Amino acid sequence: MIINVGDLVSKLDKHKPPSIILLTSGKAPFGKADFEPWLAEAALHDLLQMYVPEDQKDLALTTLQAGESSPGDVASEVLTLPFLVERKVIVVRHAELFFALSSDKKSPVIPLLECLSDPPDFCLLILLASEANRSRRFYKLCEEKGLVVECPQMEDRVYGQWIKEQLKQKGYSISSSALALMIERVGNSMSDMANAINLLCSFAEQETKLNEQHVLAACADVAETTVWALTDAIAASDTGKALENLHELLAINKSHEEILGMINWLLESAYKAHPGTKVSLNKPFVEKKVLPLAKKWDVTKMQNALQLCTRTNFQFRNSGADKTLLLETMIIKLAASRGRAAPAR
């Protein structure tokens, strides 16, 4: 069975867990990452609270790392009877390494596949995999014998609600404009946002109604500054600088999807601010920042650039090609042309 992470708890029986639970990627909205580690970790926390009593952790819980432990090692752990507890839980992190393996007769994953084809009822195996090849026998076995829990990043509306709820739990509220600014500066990563929320609350102290000034003072905008620099470099046809900015964003752990989403958002904003489109952004701050780009490119170039972003997003999901290479290729195409954009094909 395949479910969204938001439905996980409602699908579980506290007294009879499935044999396998795979926490992995799912289809995310455009510009969002298909896997959100924070959601997967939160789901894992809920699972351990449900199935591993606090006083049994030493005996009932084993955590392994794929790469350090082989699929055969995991199979041996699964088949070993629990000691002094009714049920045991095995957590395997970085399991995407296992899902990348073929399932031919000589594959190292075969012992684990054979074990999970008839899994013991005394063990719950939880796999965390940032990616899982859905065509592999391993994935299909997880779907057949257990639960596949998809953990993509949230759409903007739900993400905003989550941020407000996190702040509410700490005794704070935030204005709509401050919330939008916070998302703009921090990005889509829930881990980064959780850290930013803690920092924001520490900075605000007794001021429980948060505004844009609180956000500007407390939340760094390294990613925002770099993506502006990237689009400036593209507009100036400075390919080397644009690629340097791309790798700076990757170095601060921005996902490929987030970077593409930020570039697409800036291009859309520049397109709307272009004198030839006659569309008002109703956001003076953003309009001021994108107007130089809008003046450098004509409407046709803007349209072709947006088409190229859409095509790159499609390739992310369907081509299996290296995502860094796809972004580099897109940026080179955008920066290489002057006046009119390179055709998006």
Verify that 106 and 200 share a domain, yes or no. Answer: no
pLDDT score for 301: 82
In a domain, 341, yes or no: no
Verify that 240 and 208 share a domain, yes or no. Answer: no
Q: What's the CA gap between 86 and 180, in Å, rounded?
A: 49
pLDDT score for 280: 56
pLDDT score for 334: 87
Largest CA-CA distance found in the chain, in angstroms, rounded: 74
In a domain, 199, yes or no: yes
Amino acid at the residue 235: A
Verify that 107 and 8 share a domain, yes or no. Answer: yes
Question: What are the residues whose beta carbons fall under 8 Å from the beta carbon of 131, sequence distance 6 or more?
Answer: 24, 25, 34, 35, 96, 99
pLDDT score for 341: 41
Pairing of strands 20-24, 147-150: parallel
Q: What is the CATH number of the domain that holds 280?
A: 1.20.272.10
Verify that 125 and 10 share a domain, yes or no. Answer: yes
Verify that 266 and 211 share a domain, yes or no. Answer: no
The pTM is what? 0.70
* Contact by Cβ (8 Å): 308, 333: yes
pLDDT score for 283: 54
First to last CA, the chain: 37
Q: Which strand (E) or helix (H) includes residue 138?
A: helix 137-145
Verify that 256 and 322 share a domain, yes or no. Answer: yes
In a domain, 58, yes or no: yes
* Contact by Cβ (8 Å): 253, 189: yes
In a domain, 344, yes or no: no
Q: What's the CA gap between 200 and 282, in Å, rounded?
A: 27
State which of 170, 198, 218 marks the end of a domain: 218
In a domain, 343, yes or no: no
State which of 171, 193, 218 marks the end of a domain: 218
Can you give the C-alpha Rg of the chain in angstroms?
23
- Name the DSSP class of 104: S
Please give the structure tokens belonging to residue 312.
Answer: 């790159």
Tens digits of pLDDT across the chain (345 residues) = 899 898 898 888 888 889 999 999 998 888 788 999 999 999 999 999 999 999 999 999 999 999 899 999 999 999 999 999 989 999 999 999 999 888 888 899 999 999 999 999 999 999 999 999 898 999 999 999 999 999 999 998 999 999 999 999 999 999 999 999 888 888 888 988 998 899 899 888 888 999 999 988 887 666 666 777 788 788 788 888 889 889 888 887 788 988 898 888 888 887 877 766 655 555 555 556 666 666 777 788 888 889 999 999 999 988 888 999 999 999 999 887 654 444 444
* Contact by Cβ (8 Å): 146, 23: no
State which of 96, 128, 150 marks the end of a domain: 150
Verify that 198 and 66 share a domain, yes or no. Answer: no
Q: What's the CA gap between 130 and 35, in Å, rounded?
A: 6
Verify that 235 and 283 share a domain, yes or no. Answer: yes
Which three-class secondary structure state does DSSP give residue 134? coil
Q: Could you tell me how far CA 288 lies from the centroid of its own chain?
A: 30
Verify that 127 and 63 share a domain, yes or no. Answer: yes
Domain encompassing residue 293: 222-336
Cα 60-65-69 angle, rounded to 5 deg: 95
Verify that 291 and 172 share a domain, yes or no. Answer: no
Q: Which one, of 209, 177, 215, lies nearest residue 193 by Cα?
A: 215
Total domain count, the chain: 3
* Contact by Cβ (8 Å): 203, 218: yes
Q: Which one, of 45, 23, 48, lies nearest residue 36 by Cα?
A: 23
